[in-house]
Amino acid sequence: MKAYVFPGQGAQFVGMGKDLYERSALAKEMFEKANLILGFSITDLMFAGTDADLKQTKVTQPAIFLHSTVLAAVLGENFKPDMVAGHSLGEFSALVANRALSFEDGLVLVSKRAMAMQKACEKTPSSMAAILGIDDKIVEEVCNSIEEVVVPANYNSPGQIVISGSNEGIDKAIEALKTKGAKRALKLPVGGAFHSPLMEPARAELEEAIRNTRFSEPLCPVYQNVNASPSSDPNTIKANLVAQLTSPVNWTQSVINMIAAGADKFIEVGPGSVLQGLIKKVNKDIQTESAVF
């Protein structure tokens, strides 16, 4: 069974999607439609901008979403998922590729999400850190022991967790985890504490937008970040999508559950190959590849 997976923030690179734009009339049409919907030429920034351009949250999230959803669309009959999942932002790409959400509505939601998250980041100075080589339970215990806001945000693979919180909370957690034996505890160059309680203002803002957007039953189950479980009911999908902003990304468990449900090949749709690396750390024998048009 084939599981199609969609990357999140951090997978972007200058030039992404240019080959699709030049080779496919459908891709060109979708990219041009995106420029109109967003009100700026995101294709200029994606194809010939700078790394700094692409690192702006309002650009990064729509850019990765576009690369993934356009690639899924041009695959046409070759896109035959038995299940899908997306990492954080990638969940929106998965839902569009899986026909639960229209391309236009998905892009609008992703743009609103990016703006809302940017605002939440500016409200409270905050950050994230990657923690490697230590048991998940120890990371959870350390986070719980710190008075400032700091929580596990991304369960990426066994022995790789990203924590999220206030700057002070992150600094204290890094020091504590180093003394507990973490191989690496490294602050990430991100603008805020994604997937933490500090995203509550963004969650409230996005909730209204999601509630007013039409969702349909998808082609196949989507394994959602908040519970690592398959969903096909539009109302459940909506509720989980809202909760996602302040909840951890349960990627490790999602991969384990998809394999248990019969997935024997994972195909990454979008820029880069980060998810394939994480999947291999969950199960080194599983087959992974990048979607190619």
Query: Which residue range is the domain that position 282 belongs to?
Result: 2-119+197-290
Please choose, from the candidates 45, 71, 74, the residue with its C-alpha nearest in 3D space to the C-alpha of residue 60: 45
- Do 107 and 244 reside in the same domain of the chain? yes
CA distances from 30 to 41, 66, 112 (A): 13, 8, 19
Look up the CATH number of the domain holding residue 159.
3.30.70.250
Query: In the prediction, which pLDDT does 30 show?
Result: 98
- Do 139 and 233 reside in the same domain of the chain? no
DSSP-derived letter for residue 273 is S
Catalytic residue (one of 93, 166, 195, 254):
195
Long-range pairs for 42-47: beta carbons < 8 A, 24 or more residues apart: 42/66, 43/17, 46/14, 46/15, 46/16, 46/17, 46/18, 47/14, 47/15, 47/16, 47/17, 47/18, 47/21
Q: Which two tokens stand for residue 112?
A: 């609103």
- Do 215 and 262 reside in the same domain of the chain? yes
Residue predicted with more confidence, 253 or 125? 253
CA 181/CA 167 separation, integer angstroms: 21
Catalytic residue (one of 88, 126, 166, 196):
88
Please report which confidence band the pLDDT of residue 191 belongs to, taking 50, 70 and 90 as the band edges. Answer: confident
Is residue 32 a part of any domain in this protein? yes
Is residue 171 a part of any domain in this protein? yes
CA 107/CA 69 separation, integer angstroms: 10
Least confident interval from 33-42, 56-65, 91-100, 221-230: 56-65
Query: In the prediction, which pLDDT does 116 show?
Result: 92
Q: 63-100, pLDDT tens digit by residue?
A: 999 999 999 999 999 999 999 999 999 999 999 999 99
Task: Name the pTM for this structure.
Answer: 0.95
What mean pLDDT comes out for the span 118-127?
A: 88
Q: 235-246, pLDDT tens digit by residue?
A: 999 999 999 999
> Can you say whether the dihedral through the CA atoms of 108, 109, 113, 114 is positive or negative?
negative
Q: Which two tokens stand for residue 137?
A: 């339970």
Q: Which two tokens stand for residue 102?
A: 């229209």
The reply to whether 166 belongs to the active site is no
User: H or E element: which one contains 165?
Assistant: strand 160-166
- Do 75 and 134 reside in the same domain of the chain? no
Does 35 score more than 80 pLDDT? yes
Does 122 score more than 90 pLDDT? no
Cβ neighbour number for residue 132 with a 10 Å cutoff: 16
- Do 19 and 160 reside in the same domain of the chain? no
User: H or E element: which one contains 36?
Assistant: helix 25-38
Does 105 score more than 80 pLDDT? yes
CA 229/CA 258 separation, integer angstroms: 9
Does 4 score more than 80 pLDDT? yes
245: buried, middle or exposed (CB in 10 Å: 19+, 13-18, 0-12)? Answer: buried
- Do 131 and 105 reside in the same domain of the chain? no
Least confident interval from 1-15, 20-34, 136-150, 180-194: 180-194
- Do 68 and 213 reside in the same domain of the chain? yes
- Do 155 and 281 reside in the same domain of the chain? no
Is residue 192 a part of any domain in this protein? no
Query: In the prediction, which pLDDT does 270 show?
Result: 96
Q: Which two tokens stand for residue 109?
A: 């939601």
Of 148, 164, 187, which one is at a domain's C-terminal end?
187
DSSP-derived letter for residue 172 is H
Is residue 173 a part of any domain in this protein? yes
Q: What is the overall mean pLDDT for the chain?
A: 95
Q: 41-51, pLDDT tens digit by residue?
A: 999 999 999 99
CA 251/CA 213 separation, integer angstroms: 26
Is residue 91 a part of any domain in this protein? yes
In the chain, pLDDT over 90 holds for what percent of residues?
90
- Do 202 and 101 reside in the same domain of the chain? yes
The reply to whether 41 belongs to the active site is no
Q: How many domains does the chain have?
A: 2
Phi/psi at 155 (5° precision): -90, 90
Is residue 85 a part of any domain in this protein? yes
Look up the CATH number of the domain holding residue 233.
3.40.366.10
Does 56 score more than 90 pLDDT? no
- Do 25 and 154 reside in the same domain of the chain? no
- Do 236 and 252 reside in the same domain of the chain? yes
Does 152 score more than 90 pLDDT? yes
What mean pLDDT comes out for the span 102-111?
A: 98
DSSP-derived letter for residue 89 is T
Q: Taking CA 99 as the corner, what is the angle to CA 57 and CA 210, rounded to the nearest 5 degrees?
A: 50
Number of residues in the chain: 293
- Do 72 and 88 reside in the same domain of the chain? yes
Is residue 12 a part of any domain in this protein? yes
Does 10 score more than 90 pLDDT? no
Q: Which two tokens stand for residue 100?
A: 């639960």
